[in-house]
């Protein structure tokens, strides 16, 4: 049986409680440096932690060790900050280790050097990033860079010259400086081990977690696509389109224009001057002057100034609330008669007039969404009443598919050789509503677990709701509501559930329990460090001017990835 299952008695419980209590007391209450004023950060420090300086040279060396194989998916500034956060965490842990009386012996340091170990602290909050760059399970040993442990290839013995040369190349440190580096990393590692030591995984807990993670479900689903609805179920009669447009002006997407006059709320004189200027421009617009030309002349928004103040209507959703509210209250072609104040200053806002194409596009989009939802609800209701999904779909197609799309004839070629042109041109295929590839139809997912994606190309929220239903319902159930997607609505039914068995667990017991223990230990460490950082936040100072990779405008120009010799 696993060691993690052995110590479940009273002694283990008491020991764990004592350690956790001790650790939390030191984090929450015992902060001898609290209130101590730090001077301004030194030019020679990338960061100061409780008065201890993290030199830019050390930070750059750690960066090269961690990202020796590159920084996949991260900008240089992000990778640089990631490394610095690990070094800040190291200094905080060292402070706690020293207060608890932990030490690192000279023999421990020497042994680690002889083995070729090189330790670098990584942030406990981001173990996945460490795994991506070659540090699985939060390991901080970069021994892969010294696979032979500084040994002479002929004598197979430790070679001081090789050691000095390698350390200089890797971290630009002398042997004495590297020994100090290694000592600090080893002490921080001891503190991490102390925090992790009380964590245990009971066998029942491991089995329950295994069942939760490895059990699977399979769902069936009916997709009602807006494209099919638009094609077969919506009338484009001019009167209906016009009535819809009058009732839903805000849904007609037309370009939005604005003129921005910047003003700082914190500076009353500047804000008043901006308002006066904006009022004058608004009056000129009201008198009929060309909005686009005024925007090009006066607007202080670089993103739209050269385009006559224009933004696509779809972008309004991402704008500040005051701007968005103004646009939503305007019909196509209307001007807001009042200035709109936001954190940027004062805006003059107008919606462009809607073309027939704009109105028809909005009508089709709005009607197809509404009707797709209605059809999906009908299909779901029929399935709940006992109909098969196929029968429910067939009934919906008969009920709602009332129109046949027109297929335009291609004009005959000059000279009357229509047969030759027809043979050369691609044939446009036509379908009936019940044969169209986009029609409502039944599909089945693959088996998935609680972390899976049962249906491709749907949103995270939609996936979460389907997974929740799939593991909380019972086979035969139909989801209470259709699930909205970008393309329409989905009716979901639960086909099968398969629970992971004790036999499955027994095959993986040791490895699974060990991985669960490691995950719990990392969670405990991350929580501990968060509390430690919170209690020490006044004593952590970062100077991005001295931080390798800091972008221009965010604390300093970028620096070359080289140490000063």
- Which residue has 């939609």 as its token pair? 462
Half-sphere CA count of 233, side-chain side, radius 13 A: 29
Sheet holding 483-485: strands in order across? 441-444, 216-225, 488-498, 483-485
pTM of the model: 0.62
Domain ranges within the chain, ordered by starting residue: 3-28+46-203+507-546, 216-234+359-405+430-498, 253-353
CATH topology of domain 216-234+359-405+430-498: Chitinase A; domain 3 (3.10.50)
The phi and psi torsions of 48 (rounded to 5 degrees) equal -120, 135
Reduced to 3 DSSP states, what percent helix, strand and coil does the chain have, rounded to the nearest 5? Answer: 50, 10, 40
CATH topology of domain 3-28+46-203+507-546: Triger factor/SurA peptide-binding fold (1.10.4030)
d(CA 307, CA 372): 37
74-127: pLDDT as tens digits: 788 888 999 999 999 999 999 999 999 999 999 999 999 988 888 999 999 877
341-351: pLDDT as tens digits: 999 999 999 99
Q: What is the DSSP letter of 353?
A: P
Q: How far is CA 451 from CA 212, 445, 456, 476, in A?
A: 10, 14, 14, 22
- Interacting residues of 41 by C-beta distance below 8 A, sequence separation 6+: 47, 48, 541, 542, 543
pLDDT of residue 417: 54
The C-alpha R_g of the chain, in whole angstroms, comes to 33
The answer to whether domain 216-234+359-405+430-498 and domain 253-353 are alike in fold is yes
> In 3-state terms, what secondary structure has residue 489?
strand
Sheet holding 256-262: strands in order across? 310-311, 256-262, 345-351, 340-342
d(CA 294, CA 305): 9
pLDDT of residue 9: 33
* pLDDT tens by residue, the chain, 565 residues: 333 333 333 333 333 333 443 334 333 333 333 333 333 444 589 999 999 999 999 999 998 888 877 776 778 888 899 999 999 999 999 999 999 999 999 999 999 998 888 899 999 987 777 777 666 545 567 767 787 788 988 898 999 999 999 999 888 889 999 999 999 999 999 999 999 999 999 999 999 999 999 999 999 999 999 999 999 999 988 999 999 988 888 788 889 999 999 998 888 999 999 999 999 999 999 999 999 999 999 999 999 999 999 999 888 888 999 999 999 889 889 999 999 999 999 999 999 998 899 899 999 999 999 999 999 999 999 999 999 999 999 999 999 998 877 655 555 555 555 555 545 555 556 789 999 999 999 999 999 999 999 998 889 999 999 999 999 999 999 999 999 998 899 999 999 999 999 999 999 999 999 999 999 999 999 999 999 999 999 999 999 888 776 654 333 333 333 343 3
Please state which CATH number belongs to domain 253-353.
3.10.50.40
Tokens matching residue 196 = 């992790």
- Interacting residues of 188 by C-beta distance below 8 A, sequence separation 6+: 89, 90, 93, 94, 97, 121
């Amino acid at each position: 049986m696993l060691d993690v299952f052995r110590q479940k008695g009273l002694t283990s419980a008491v020991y764990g409680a004592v350690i956790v209590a001790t650790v939390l007391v030191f984090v929450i209450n015992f902060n001898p440096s609290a209130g101590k004023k730090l001077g301004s950060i030194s030019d020679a420090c990338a960061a100061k932690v409780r008065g201890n300086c993290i030199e830019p040279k050390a930070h750059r060396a750690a960066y090269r060790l961690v990202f020796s194989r590159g920084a996949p998916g991260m900008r240089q500034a992000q990778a640089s900050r990631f490394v610095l956060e690990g070094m800040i965490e190291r200094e905080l842990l060292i402070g706690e280790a020293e207060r608890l009386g932990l030490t690192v012996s000279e023999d421990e340091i020497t042994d680690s050097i002889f083995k070729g170990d090189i330790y670098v602290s990584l942030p406990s909050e981001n173990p996945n990033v460490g795994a991506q760059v070659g540090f699985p399970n939060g390991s901080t040993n970069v021994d892969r860079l010294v696979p032979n442990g500084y040994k002479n290839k002929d004598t197979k013995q430790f070679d001081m010259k090789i050691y000095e040369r390698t350390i200089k190349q890797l971290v630009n440190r002398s042997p004495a400086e590297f020994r100090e580096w290694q000592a600090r990393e080893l002490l921080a590692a001891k503190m991490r081990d102390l925090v992790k030591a009380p964590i245990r995984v009971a066998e029942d807990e491991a089995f329950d977690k295994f069942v939760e993670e490895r059990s699977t479900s399979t769902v069936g689903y009916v997709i009602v696509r807006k494209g099919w609805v638009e094609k077969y179920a919506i009338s484009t009669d001019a009167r209906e389109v016009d009535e819809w447009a009058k009732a839903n002006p805000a849904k007609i997407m037309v370009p939005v224009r604005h003129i921005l006059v910047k003003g700082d709320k914190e500076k009353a004189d500047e804000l008043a001057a901006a308002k006066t200027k904006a009022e004058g421009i608004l009056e000129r617009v009201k008198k009929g002057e060309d909005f686009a030309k005024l925007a090009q002349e006066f607007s202080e928004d670089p993103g739209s100034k050269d385009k006559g103040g224009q933004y696509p209507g779809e972008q309004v959703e991402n704008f500040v609330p005051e701007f968005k509210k103004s646009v939503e209250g305007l019909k196509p072609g209307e001007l807001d008669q009042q200035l709109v104040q936001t954190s940027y200053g004062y805006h003059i806002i107008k919606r462009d007039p809607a073309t027939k194409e704009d109105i028809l596009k909005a009508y089709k989009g709005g009607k197809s969404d509404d009707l797709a939802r209605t059809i999906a609800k009908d299909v779901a209701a029929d399935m709940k009443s006992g109909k098969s999904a196929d029968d429910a779909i067939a009934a919906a197609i008969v009920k709602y598919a009332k129109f046949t799309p027109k297929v335009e004839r291609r004009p005959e070629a000059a000279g009357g050789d229509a047969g030759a042109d027809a043979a050369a041109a691609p044939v446009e295929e036509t379908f009936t509503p019940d044969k169209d590839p986009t029609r409502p139809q039944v599909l089945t997912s693959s088996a998935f677990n609680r972390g899976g994606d049962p249906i491709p190309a749907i949103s995270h929220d939609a996936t979460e709701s389907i997974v929740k239903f799939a593991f909380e319902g019972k086979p035969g159930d139909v989801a209470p509501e259709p699930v909205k997607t970008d393309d329409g609505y989905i009716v979901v039914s639960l086909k099968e559930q398969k629970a992971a068995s004790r036999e499955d667990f027994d095959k993986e017991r040791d490895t699974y329990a060990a991985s669960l223990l490691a995950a719990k230990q990392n969670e405990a460490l991350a929580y501990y460090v968060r509390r430690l950082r919170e209690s020490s936040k006044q004593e952590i100072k970062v100077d991005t001017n001295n931080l390798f990779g800091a972008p221009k405008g965010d604390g300093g120009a970028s620096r070359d990835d080289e140490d000063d010799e």
